[in-house]
Structure 1
Amino acid sequence: MRTTTRTAGVLTGLTLALGGAVLAAPAAHADVRACINQVERELRGGEAPEYVRTACSVGLGGDHAKCVSGLTAGGVTNGTAVSACRVAK
Protein backbone atom coordinates (compact mmCIF):
# COMPACT_ATOMS: atom_id res chain seq x y z
CA MET A 1 0.00 0.00 0.00
CA ARG A 2 1.34 3.40 -0.89
CA THR A 3 2.16 5.83 1.91
CA THR A 4 -0.19 8.51 0.59
CA THR A 5 -3.10 6.06 0.42
CA ARG A 6 -2.38 4.81 3.93
CA THR A 7 -2.12 8.39 5.25
CA ALA A 8 -5.40 9.35 3.59
CA GLY A 9 -7.08 6.32 5.14
CA VAL A 10 -5.80 7.13 8.60
CA LEU A 11 -6.88 10.77 8.31
CA THR A 12 -10.33 9.72 7.10
CA GLY A 13 -10.69 7.33 10.03
CA LEU A 14 -9.65 10.02 12.52
CA THR A 15 -12.06 12.50 11.00
CA LEU A 16 -14.96 10.06 11.24
CA ALA A 17 -14.06 9.09 14.80
CA LEU A 18 -13.75 12.67 16.00
CA GLY A 19 -16.88 13.76 14.15
CA GLY A 20 -18.84 10.96 15.80
CA ALA A 21 -17.55 12.03 19.21
CA VAL A 22 -18.75 15.57 18.60
CA LEU A 23 -22.19 14.37 17.55
CA ALA A 24 -22.45 12.04 20.55
CA ALA A 25 -21.36 14.69 23.05
CA PRO A 26 -24.13 16.04 25.28
CA ALA A 27 -25.49 19.48 24.53
CA ALA A 28 -24.01 22.28 26.55
CA HIS A 29 -26.12 23.25 29.52
CA ALA A 30 -27.73 26.64 29.36
CA ASP A 31 -27.31 29.04 32.19
CA VAL A 32 -28.88 31.91 34.05
CA ARG A 33 -27.58 34.40 31.46
CA ALA A 34 -29.44 32.63 28.65
CA CYS A 35 -32.65 32.82 30.68
CA ILE A 36 -32.14 36.51 31.42
CA ASN A 37 -31.41 37.24 27.75
CA GLN A 38 -34.70 35.58 26.77
CA VAL A 39 -36.61 37.91 29.12
CA GLU A 40 -34.61 41.01 28.14
CA ARG A 41 -35.62 40.45 24.50
CA GLU A 42 -39.26 40.79 25.60
CA LEU A 43 -38.54 43.80 27.79
CA ARG A 44 -36.78 45.46 24.82
CA GLY A 45 -34.04 47.38 26.41
CA GLY A 46 -32.51 47.94 29.73
CA GLU A 47 -31.21 45.50 32.23
CA ALA A 48 -33.52 42.85 33.59
CA PRO A 49 -34.85 43.56 37.09
CA GLU A 50 -33.63 41.55 40.08
CA TYR A 51 -36.74 39.32 40.09
CA VAL A 52 -35.69 38.02 36.66
CA ARG A 53 -32.24 37.02 37.91
CA THR A 54 -33.77 35.37 40.96
CA ALA A 55 -36.35 33.42 38.95
CA CYS A 56 -33.75 32.32 36.40
CA SER A 57 -31.46 31.12 39.20
CA VAL A 58 -34.34 29.08 40.59
CA GLY A 59 -34.86 27.62 37.11
CA LEU A 60 -31.20 26.68 36.90
CA GLY A 61 -31.67 24.83 40.17
CA GLY A 62 -34.37 22.72 38.51
CA ASP A 63 -37.63 24.23 39.81
CA HIS A 64 -39.20 25.07 36.46
CA ALA A 65 -42.65 25.89 37.86
CA LYS A 66 -41.28 28.32 40.43
CA CYS A 67 -39.11 29.98 37.78
CA VAL A 68 -42.14 30.51 35.51
CA SER A 69 -44.33 31.81 38.33
CA GLY A 70 -41.57 34.19 39.46
CA LEU A 71 -41.25 35.66 35.98
CA THR A 72 -44.98 35.92 35.28
CA ALA A 73 -45.59 37.55 38.67
CA GLY A 74 -43.24 40.31 37.52
CA GLY A 75 -45.13 40.85 34.28
CA VAL A 76 -43.29 38.62 31.82
CA THR A 77 -45.65 36.85 29.43
CA ASN A 78 -46.23 33.16 30.09
CA GLY A 79 -44.73 32.10 26.76
CA THR A 80 -41.51 33.99 27.38
CA ALA A 81 -41.34 32.77 30.96
CA VAL A 82 -41.72 29.14 29.91
CA SER A 83 -39.05 29.38 27.21
CA ALA A 84 -36.67 31.38 29.42
CA CYS A 85 -36.95 28.88 32.27
CA ARG A 86 -36.48 26.02 29.83
CA VAL A 87 -33.09 27.38 28.73
CA ALA A 88 -32.08 27.87 32.37
CA LYS A 89 -32.15 24.10 32.98
Structure 2
Amino acid sequence: MTREPRYALLKPHTLRDLMTRTADGSEISGRALASAVGIPHGTIEGLLNGKTRTQPAHVARDICRVIGIDVGCLWAETGRKVPDDNAEAPA
Protein backbone atom coordinates (compact mmCIF):
# COMPACT_ATOMS: atom_id res chain seq x y z
CA MET A 1 0.00 0.00 0.00
CA THR A 2 1.38 3.38 -1.02
CA ARG A 3 1.21 6.16 1.52
CA GLU A 4 -0.34 9.40 0.30
CA PRO A 5 2.28 12.14 -0.07
CA ARG A 6 2.29 14.92 2.48
CA TYR A 7 2.66 18.59 1.70
CA ALA A 8 4.37 21.20 3.87
CA LEU A 9 2.80 24.62 4.26
CA LEU A 10 5.50 27.06 3.17
CA LYS A 11 4.25 30.27 4.80
CA PRO A 12 1.39 30.21 7.30
CA HIS A 13 1.00 34.00 7.10
CA THR A 14 0.36 33.71 3.35
CA LEU A 15 -2.51 31.31 4.01
CA ARG A 16 -3.93 33.79 6.52
CA ASP A 17 -3.60 36.63 3.98
CA LEU A 18 -5.26 34.59 1.23
CA MET A 19 -8.16 33.76 3.54
CA THR A 20 -8.96 37.48 3.79
CA ARG A 21 -9.55 37.68 0.04
CA THR A 22 -10.20 34.42 -1.78
CA ALA A 23 -10.35 34.08 -5.58
CA ASP A 24 -13.97 35.23 -5.64
CA GLY A 25 -13.14 38.29 -3.53
CA SER A 26 -14.75 37.03 -0.34
CA GLU A 27 -13.21 36.37 3.05
CA ILE A 28 -13.29 32.91 4.61
CA SER A 29 -12.90 32.08 8.29
CA GLY A 30 -10.85 29.21 9.61
CA ARG A 31 -14.02 27.40 10.64
CA ALA A 32 -15.63 27.86 7.22
CA LEU A 33 -12.46 26.72 5.45
CA ALA A 34 -12.21 23.64 7.66
CA SER A 35 -15.87 22.84 7.05
CA ALA A 36 -15.50 23.24 3.27
CA VAL A 37 -12.46 20.95 3.25
CA GLY A 38 -13.97 18.43 5.68
CA ILE A 39 -11.29 18.67 8.37
CA PRO A 40 -11.37 19.74 12.03
CA HIS A 41 -11.18 23.47 12.71
CA GLY A 42 -8.12 22.82 14.88
CA THR A 43 -6.20 21.67 11.81
CA ILE A 44 -6.59 25.08 10.17
CA GLU A 45 -5.69 26.82 13.44
CA GLY A 46 -2.59 24.62 13.75
CA LEU A 47 -1.54 25.51 10.22
CA LEU A 48 -2.09 29.21 10.81
CA ASN A 49 -0.12 29.31 14.06
CA GLY A 50 2.70 27.07 12.80
CA LYS A 51 2.08 24.17 15.18
CA THR A 52 1.00 21.97 12.27
CA ARG A 53 3.26 22.06 9.24
CA THR A 54 2.16 19.27 6.94
CA GLN A 55 -1.04 17.73 5.62
CA PRO A 56 -1.92 14.86 3.30
CA ALA A 57 -1.85 15.90 -0.36
CA HIS A 58 -5.65 15.81 -0.69
CA VAL A 59 -6.09 18.25 2.21
CA ALA A 60 -3.52 20.67 0.77
CA ARG A 61 -5.23 20.51 -2.63
CA ASP A 62 -8.69 21.00 -1.11
CA ILE A 63 -7.58 24.04 0.92
CA CYS A 64 -6.20 25.59 -2.27
CA ARG A 65 -9.33 24.71 -4.24
CA VAL A 66 -11.53 26.44 -1.67
CA ILE A 67 -9.48 29.64 -1.58
CA GLY A 68 -8.90 29.56 -5.34
CA ILE A 69 -5.15 29.18 -5.84
CA ASP A 70 -2.70 26.61 -7.20
CA VAL A 71 -1.29 24.18 -4.63
CA GLY A 72 2.29 25.28 -5.37
CA CYS A 73 1.52 28.78 -4.11
CA LEU A 74 1.28 27.52 -0.51
CA TRP A 75 2.59 23.99 -0.33
CA ALA A 76 5.63 21.87 -1.22
CA GLU A 77 5.61 18.09 -1.36
CA THR A 78 7.69 16.66 1.46
CA GLY A 79 10.74 14.60 0.64
CA ARG A 80 14.49 15.01 0.63
CA LYS A 81 14.40 18.81 0.34
CA VAL A 82 11.25 19.44 2.39
CA PRO A 83 11.12 17.45 5.63
CA ASP A 84 7.84 16.07 6.92
CA ASP A 85 7.89 17.40 10.49
CA ASN A 86 4.68 15.52 11.30
CA ALA A 87 5.85 12.12 10.07
CA GLU A 88 5.91 9.22 12.47
CA ALA A 89 9.33 7.94 13.45
CA PRO A 90 10.14 4.49 12.06
CA ALA A 91 9.57 1.64 14.51
Same fold (TM over 0.5): no
Greater share of residues in strand: 2
Q: Could you state the TM-score of these two structures normalised by the residue count of structure 2?
A: 0.29
Q: Could you state the TM-score of these two structures normalised by the residue count of structure 1?
A: 0.29
Answer 1 or 2: higher relative contact order, Cα 8 Å, separation at least 6. Answer: 2
Largest Rg, 1 or 2: 1
